[in-house]
Each structure stands twice: as structure tokens, then as C-alpha cells.
Structure 1
Amino acid sequence: MTYEAKTPEEYISQLPDDRKLVVEKLRKIINKNLPKGFEEGINYKMLGYYVPHSKYPDGYHCNPKLPLPFMNIASQKNSVNLYHSGIYAIPELLKWFVNEYPKHCKRKLDMGKSCIRFKKMDDIPYELIAELVSKLTVNEWINTYESVLKKK
């Protein structure tokens, strides 16, 4: 499902009622724990957290007009998804998350390369997400991003 929104508030206002509370709570936790330097906005028609051009003028290599993406939240047809680029790019972070997940959630981890899907809204591991969000500073993310680009 895609939503046409210019602000996070506008995005959330378009969600079904049962998703609004979940996405608002995720947003609050992310904003509370996100290291300084990242910005929040709409990115790829989702709630986005990214490195602004003021901090990283080169932007995203696929489209330099876009800021460097880091994380997104999206309400999809059957789930609320958290997309975290650090999990995709840093094997140690992925390993940590996969190992910690069962300590915080009774359901099986439903995950793609950078996408964590939450199909049951009552069992989202908010504390674990808060910890995940705080794991990478802006500079660490930029360094990781650039080191991955150089390998290609």
C-alpha cells in the first residue's frame, strides 16, 4: 500500500485506525532513540529517516537528489514494516538483531534483507527497536555506506 503524503503526520493520518497507534508508537520510539544528525520526513512514500544533504551532500548514489536513506516505516497490506539499511549492510548488526529478537518477541522473526515485518500489532518488540535505532551514528552509517559503495 502506498500513501501520498508530504509529512509524517499526513502519512499517519491516512492509515487505518488500527495501524495509526502502532506507527505513531514506532515513530515516537525512533525519534527518541535516533542519534543526532538523522532527519525524519517522507522518503519513498514512507516515513523515512535519512542523512540530509546538509550532512552528506552527495546524497544517495542511485539518485543524488535524494538524501542518504537509513531507515523507513511503512504500513503495508498485511504488516507494518521496518526497513533498516544497517541490518542489510552490517553482518554483525544483523547477527545481533537475529539473536536478540527471540528474547523480546514470542513470534518467529519475519524478515527480508533489510525489512522486518510485523504482522501481529500486539507483539512488536519496541524496546529492541529502540536499541537497534541507537546502534549507528550518522558518521558510522556514512562510513558503512561509502565502504559498501567502494566494494562495488
Structure 2
Amino acid sequence: MSTTTEMAFDDFIAALPAERQLLARQTWQLVRQAVPAGYTEHIGPKYLEFRAGKDMYVGLANQKSYLSLHLVPMYLMPELQEQLAAAAPKLKMGKGCVNFSKMEELPLGALTELIAATSPADYAARLQAVRTASRKKG
């Protein structure tokens, strides 16, 4: 895992509301431990993220009243979203993100499995396939 930063991780955390700093730090530590080798960590003013090339794989963002964990594989592979929903039926989810304000809301085991499930090469291939299919439709 390599890191490219526009800002320091600690600066990103310090810019969050005080009540979300520990939650963001713990969540990102979970992501760091689970993400497969080969993704690159990027730290910017709006997101913490891991990328395959220039494409986001997983990201963490601060919203108005919660944190949002963006899980792009879940958007590309709906079966992953279904698995996560089965593990935590009350989880606040969008098509590719999980919104939360407490660590207890997260199904840690299921999230770890989802994040660890796709190598950078497989992820890039899946993204390319989706992009190619959407161009053919248009």
C-alpha cells in the first residue's frame, strides 16, 4: 500500500467535527487493514480514499450529520450490497455508500470482507467492463 497525500492524515482528521474524529480514525484503520495490496491511499480535503489508478475503490467522507463510507465495488457488484444488507438490515445505505454516526452501526466483519474481496486488477477489469457496456448502450 502506498500513500499519496494532498494533506496529512492527521490534518484531515483534525478538520472534522470533534465528535467524529475518533470514529473516522477507527473506520479508516479498519479500511487500511482490509484493503488488498496494490491500491493507493490518497488523502485530500474532502475524502480519504484508496484508488486503483485514478479510480476510487473505497473512500470516507464527512457529511453534515454523519460519515459516509463510499464502497464503489458495492455499486458495481450489487450482490455485495445484498450481502452487506443481509449482515445489517438496519444499515443506512445508498447504492454505493454506507452512512453512519457510530461504530456500532457498522457490520465490521461484513465490511472487512467486502473491502478485501477485490484485487486492484479485478476491480480495474470490472470498471472497464461497466464503462464499455454503458458506452454501447448510449
Quote the offset at 1:126 in angstroms.
Answer: 2.6
Residue aligning to 1:112: 94
Deviations 1:84-107 (A, max 9, x none): 1110011221221111224xxxxx
Residue aligning to 2:130: 148
Preserved CA contact (<8 Å) 1:79 1:117:
yes
Contiguous gaps of at least 5 residues in structure 2: 1-5
Give me the identity figure in percent.
Answer: 26
Preserved CA contact (<8 Å) 1:33 1:130:
yes
Preserved CA contact (<8 Å) 2:41 2:51:
yes
Contiguous gaps of at least 5 residues in structure 1: 53-66, 103-107
Q: Matched residues in 1 for 2:39 and 2:107: separation?
A: 22
Q: Matched residues in 2 for 1:18 and 1:126: separation?
A: 20
Q: 2:66 aligned to 75, 79, 83, which one?
A: 79
Q: Matched residues in 1 for 2:75 and 2:44: separation?
A: 18
TM-score using structure 2 length: 0.84
The alignment partner of 1:133 has SS state of helix
Residue aligning to 2:3: none
The alignment partner of 2:92 has SS state of coil
Q: How many residues align?
A: 129
Structure-2 change in CA distance of 1:72 and 1:118 (3 Å):
same
- Does 2:52 align with 1:51? yes
Preserved CA contact (<8 Å) 2:23 2:102:
no
Q: Matched residues in 1 for 2:101 and 2:33: separation?
A: 24
The structure with the largest strand share of the pair is: 2
